[in-house]
Amino acid sequence: MAVRLDVDALLSAVGSETALLGQELVARVGDVQGERGGVTAVVVDPGFGRADVWVAVVGGELVGECDCSVEGLCAHAVAVALAAPERGVVFTSIPSRSGSDPDQERFLRVAGALGRRKLNRLVAEHAAEDRRFAAALLAAAGLLSAPSAKDIKTARRMVEATAAIPGGSVRWQLHDLVTAGRDMAVELEVLAERPATVELLDVVEEAVVVWSTFLEHLLDSREDFDTDPVTQSFADLHLNLCEACDLPPVELAARLDDLLGRCEPDVCLDIPNAYEDLLGDEPVEGRT
């Protein structure tokens, strides 16, 4: 759900010096983009250099991460928070991160202790081997545009080809469905690292319907195949795209209701529980 930033409260909370510098840096904020509820941007600070910044409203509190490593909200984060509404980018509320992954926190500390050259080499090597990580890296650097019409057409053809496996002329086995579902999820995850679009969300929902159908085929053999990772991939993918697209609650509710009518999404998506923060008070007709 979109939230309105209280500018006066923000400037008061960070202190006069940080507030003043943040206001002065607003004109130096560039590449402002919404990213999964928060806002990313680049601040060119004459006293620091280029700073990559992320700010978001988490658990009702404005938080930020910045290359300058200042504890709490720095002037760069303040500048981005002030610039975002001016550039037409809105904040959405993100649940509290109090349950953050301990492993992620550990690796964050380790990465912070590495020299920049060593860290850059590790990142480059991993990106060369992992397509999704490579896409995430390029997206974080602002080098990826939203999926084109051609990208969407290719993705839809892939989903349609996957859906045709059970009814096709080529002999198939149950493990082929698991493999095809996993491959479909991976391809869509790579595409979803780009800026979100409603057109991509449409394709992902088509894929959810396909995977739901596959799970029906696998129902009597679930103990023989580990389908949970694929199911979780689709659940995360759909929820993240819904957040990134910032759909009006009434439109999101209609989409979820449509999914309920096209398949048994309960095997893939936790409707409406996982979407409560996005739906607000808007009901999903199929769940009332």
**Do 211 and 135 share a structural domain?**
no
Q: Mean pLDDT, to the nearest integer, of 239-268?
A: 86
pLDDT score recorded for residue 190:
95
The predicted pLDDT at position 108 comes to 65
Residues 231 and 174 in one domain: yes
Q: What is the mean pLDDT of residues 10-34?
A: 87
Indicate whether 65 and 89 sit together in one domain: yes
- Statement to judge: residues 167 and 122 lie in one domain: no
Domain final residue, candidates 78, 94, 110: 94
23 falls in which pLDDT band (50, 70, 90)?
A: very high
Domain boundary among 26, 59, 94: 94
Residue 100 has pLDDT above 60, yes or no: no
Enumerate residues 6+ apart whose C-beta is below 8 A from 186. 131, 132, 233
Threshold 0.85, pTM exceeds: no
Q: Is the pLDDT of residue 126 over 90?
A: yes
Least confident of 87-91, 98-102, 247-251: 98-102
**Same-domain status, 131 and 174:** no
Judged against a pLDDT cut of 60, whether residue 9 lies above it is answered with: yes
Q: Quick one: DSSP state of residue 268?
A: T
Structural domain boundaries enclosing 78: 2-94
The pLDDT value given to residue 95: 56
pLDDT score of 98 more than 60:
no
Same domain (yes/no): 195, 247 = yes
Q: Are residues 133 and 191 in the same domain?
A: no
Both 71 and 133 in a single domain? Answer: no
HEC string of the chain equals CEECCCHHHHHHHHCHHHHHHHHHHHHHEEEEEEECCEEEEEEEECCCEEEEEEEEEECCEEEEEECCCCCCCCHHHHHHHHHHHHCCCCEEEECCCCCCCHHHHHHHHHHHHCCHHHHHHHHHHHHHHCHHHHHHHHHHCCCCCCCCHHHHHHHHHHHHHHHCCCCCCCCCCHHHHHHHHHHHHHHHHHHCCCCCCHHHHHHHHHHHHHHHHHHHHCHHHHHHCCCHHHHHHHHHHHHHHHHHHCCCHHHHHHHHHHHHHHCCHHHCCCCCHHHHHHHCCCCCHHHC
Does residue 216 sit in the same domain as residue 134?
A: no
Q: Render pLDDT for 40-55 as a digit per residue (tens, 0 to 9).
A: 889 999 888 888 888 8
Residue, of 106 and 230, whose pLDDT is higher = 230
Whether 182 and 72 map to the same domain: the answer is no
What pLDDT score was predicted for residue 85? 84
Domain count, the chain: 3
pLDDT reading at 200 higher than 80:
yes
Comparing 95-104, 153-162, 269-278, the range with the smallest average pLDDT is 95-104
- The whole-chain average pLDDT of the chain stands at 85
Q: Which helix (H) or strand (E) holds 190?
A: helix 174-191
pLDDT at position 278: 87
Residue 32, pLDDT > 90, answer no
Q: Is there a single domain that holds both residue 7 and residue 58?
A: yes
β partners of residue 62: 57
Looking at the structure, tell me whether residues 277 and 245 fall in a common domain: yes
